[in-house]
Structure 1
């Protein structure tokens, strides 16, 4: 079996696991940096390894457009084409069904896109999505799904998750490679009964892992907490659980408490490119004048290259001067910050101290006390 998920420690719903893939084993819970175009913006493969990245995520839709899956396959898939030899995960193109809503038409067959590059018509079906992902050669591939926006009418959400289930069946039938793990995706918006039905029907396929989709699309945090808690109650304990598109630090801390194993988001690199650095207290605006003479590193506790070698004053100079090095260093720090956060979470769960870890995080994050949604998440997990 090329894939195996083993749970090592539990505390309430929070858990530490080990997920074995053909290109290496990873420790969960973990954060996956997003490499939309087969590259995490601004960071080299060596840097990704040095800061503790375990899986990198690539985008099926964008790589279908350029350079094309056939070209990547000729180089040995993403591992050979990019030189990053650790595990890869590819999405299915389902997120673009929502994000490119003005450029697509959905039918039972699939989704017809008008390319954002040149306007060409691209038909992405479950079968085509799986074929592309097999050419890309990722260790984990995702079933083609329909990611609805928020808000959405209930009847649309119902049609959407039912179509996603039919597309899952077609995705599974189209899959030919045993060295790739196909994850199913649950949908249903923030409607608990639809989520329940979607989850119960999805796990009937007995897949190597499952993703909670359709969140982090603008819904209130308290609704996300309800859906995640419901979902992890229903998903199998012996399979990895992936909360798609979630990457804010406070969301990761709450998600881990509720039993999530995997997260991804463009947030850390996008935030870095806007001149912000992630710390436990929130975000530092290193474009602000108040840091022009600050001799401290971004975070004295951080072991990344930026924190070990540069002051806030220097980074502020780079940001204000528009130097690309500044944005690279902030992106590097931000991804390392989320990896460190997950490392700290794993250590806390193993020690049976996750509740104390989350309370300490909340104290640092919110000087006037945590928001109600965070408290609710921790209470649901029995850790507050």
Structure 2
């Protein structure tokens, strides 16, 4: 049903099989209104959106038995894969809907939805714990009733995970739905979190759901901002839906890779999609309102699809960490979220990160010490044991591996019998014997002045490496960073000042 082809961090490029074909994930899922859809579903299909989501509750109210007879694909005019929301959004907005969960489940089965969702009770954001728990329990009961009603089916039924900022409820919800046998999970209630720019809370919510169901595909409701897409994918979300492309267009909001901007603020259109090459900014603003809304919505769809494709390429290249960090710098609240990647709560990001990558990884600033490849290498060096009694530490150079350099050969002559190692602020101590192991042999580090107090992992690597080996003497060619780190680690060593010609001077 769900086959994973490539991974990086918790992101997955996969194949999701449904009754109406295969969907490649990660995928943005445009919301299609079953009655008043401005942009034709066929246009969406032609753009490359093979999966759309529509509202089964509105379809039931508007079409009733006609929808049962024709099927949802004919109703909305889309021959690709269709996901149906059973009315949870209306419940969130209005408190309830005039339909029972069993009736809604049977209707979604009757209209042949490929990826149907049971009628849930969204917790939203800011709900007191006891009320949120009540809503989670209602959703779980509705979901259990749904499976009883629909019985055997080819459709990919989705388990709606609720709980929002109450992370234990998120985990409870996900585990219960997994136990019921749902093939696909969907995280509810993120829209209000994103509207409040609570990206850190959203990240923790995703992480808790992934902890409960690490292998099953996960859908994220209401994620339609170009900045949130790479982060959501990196955290493990496989699909995400939104009507943002149209809602933003109605408000004259023009999407771009770094966010959105009011159309009235643009002197130029910084895009090369079919819309933007057809108009100047002034010409686009001058269009009649309905036509302008349509054109901006088409542009917004282009940006969303391009963002997904760029993220998928970053997965293929093994550069998703770099891409996410680049995107996070577009907004401080998003950077708050990615700073959480340093915590053990997000240790699961390492599971999908390759042990070796063909391309060198990049180290820029302090957050990069926590990327999975660096963590993995520091664990390796913590297990390294040397039989030598003298340790010679030298700053990492531009050439890798260390043992292939002229400097290494010179140090061997000057310090025969010593354990030679280089050091890197992100990787810690790098013994010469394993300096050819990824990523010690495959990294590019920005050469800037650093404060070791911002690199606790380096100080810990230095302390553990020296504590785990029985060196009688430690000699360190120390730059300013290393001198500060040695003081923090309380390392007793003979210090040689760093210079470009330090080997000759020694």
TM value normalised by structure 2 = 0.64
CA contact (8 A) 1:11 1:352 kept: yes
Secondary structure of residue in 2 paired with 1:8: strand
CA contact (8 A) 2:13 2:312 kept: yes
Mapped partners of 1:244, 1:372: distance in 2: 21
1:26 paired residue number: 23
Which structure is richer in relative contact order (CA contacts within 8 A, separation 6 or more)? Answer: 1
CA contact (8 A) 2:123 2:189 kept: yes
CA contact (8 A) 2:18 2:114 kept: yes
Matches for 1:80-229 after TM superposition, within 5 Å: 80-101=74-95, 104=96, 113=97, 122=98, 124-176=99-151, 178-218=153-193, 220-229=198-207
In the TM superposition, residue 62 of structure 1 has moved relative to its aligned partner by 1.4
CA contact (8 A) 1:17 1:29 kept: yes
In the TM superposition, residue 370 of structure 1 has moved relative to its aligned partner by 6.3
Q: 1:59 aligns with which of 50, 55, 59?
A: 55
Q: Is 1:362 aligned to 2:328, yes or no? A: yes
2:411 paired residue number: none
Matches for 1:289-304 after TM superposition, within 5 Å: 291=266, 294=267, 296-300=268-272, 303=273
In the TM superposition, residue 73 of structure 1 has moved relative to its aligned partner by 2.5
Q: Is 1:235 aligned to 2:213, yes or no? A: yes
Superposed CA deviations along residues 195-216 of structure 1, whole A, max 9, x for unmatched, are 2222211110122211111222
Which has the higher Rg, Structure 1 or Structure 2? 2
Mapped partners of 1:255, 1:284: distance in 2: 22
1:108 paired residue number: none
Secondary structure of residue in 2 paired with 1:178: coil
Cα gap change, 1:271 to 1:377, in 2 (>3 Å): farther
Superposed CA deviations along residues 263-315 of structure 1, whole A, max 9, x for unmatched, are 011212100121111001322322x1x54xx4x44413xx3x21232222211
The worse-fitting range, judged by mean Cα deviation, of 268-277 and 214-223 is 214-223
Mapped partners of 2:159, 2:22: distance in 1: 21
CA contact (8 A) 1:140 1:183 kept: yes
CA contact (8 A) 1:134 1:177 kept: no
Q: Is 1:310 aligned to 2:288, yes or no? A: no
| CA RMSD of superposed structures (Å) | 2.0
TM value normalised by structure 1 = 0.84
1:270 paired residue number: 247
Mapped partners of 2:328, 2:244: distance in 1: 20
Mapped partners of 1:140, 1:74: distance in 2: 18
Structure 2, unpaired ranges of 5+ = 351-366, 369-506
Q: Is 1:49 aligned to 2:45, yes or no? A: yes
Q: 2:313 aligns with which of 336, 347, 352?
A: 347
Structure 1, unpaired ranges of 5+ = 105-112, 114-121
